[in-house]
Chain A
């Protein structure tokens, strides 16, 4: 379990990047929090710097998009899903990421 930030520091529509075994991006989508691996599965770019539209995050480099609920890519050029991670908010407003167990790094990952 990784402390990410205080809820006040992650307003709606915003994102932050936290370090786990790999960087993880945490998003606030209209009050619901989602976390996915931060690095786009297409090429080296940080999804926490991307364009958030509803539950979808668009990569800032090539406009690959992912569904934050499932991690699945919704359009090319991404072909592989990003991992999703559980997020919880403690009573004091602390946001925690429960990083999924590391999987073998897929071929071609940066």
Chain B
């Protein structure tokens, strides 16, 4: 992962330090913007093998399982995937780069589907763009399944699937996108041709607007390379776009690769490269004050529901919810409540 912090009004490269595992670039260009770039080039992938990026501290990558990783950083373009030298192998779209992320789960790696969430987290994106390149696998079912999430609310702002076996045409390549409440935004058919639609690279551009709405554009940027498949079918341009979609959240901070039913495609697994996040940084609010609140830890039982409440007058018997109810999971939770603005307050945690 590379982080570019942009400050002031002049442009100069401040640091250009390359570390063995990850890089931090500081670039001073313009006020209030920053970039996070994950192009996978800074990972050390030895011996023409692969690397689980979640094992690299501070990489930004985590995963929910403890078995073999679903997604790996591979090196080098087109030369290491299962059958070295096979003409079927794909390359990064930007052929100057040699590394990318691939879906390891494949026909050759049981289970032949992804079985855990793999997440890349980044500073919250309230206003700005998240963009990446995708070459989906050619197998049936769902070789690519993505959610852009707000970890604070736990909501998926958007979910995207690529498949070749449904919606509405079997054996074509179709993107399907839905919003935070399941409204279908895009159900796009990418017709096969030469090469098949999954043997192509796509540019996915997600733009978050202040106020909790987003735009999305899916662009066909060309066929895979190198490939044994000759084709004159160059970049097809924008396949689908939507604008001003309610996000159901004020921002996103997680790029989640979700479990999908599809295998990785053997020699041609799903590939991801050049994840770039451009964000408007917030400015510090003047007049912020720090006072004393209360922290009330309480033990929960799985499946019970807990509601912190407050009253400023015990004689009324009226209690007001302090935040949303909390679903118990057996862990200790904390009710965090303010104390300012009233001479007297009583607090309690109700269990249902």
Q: Do A and B come from one complex?
A: no
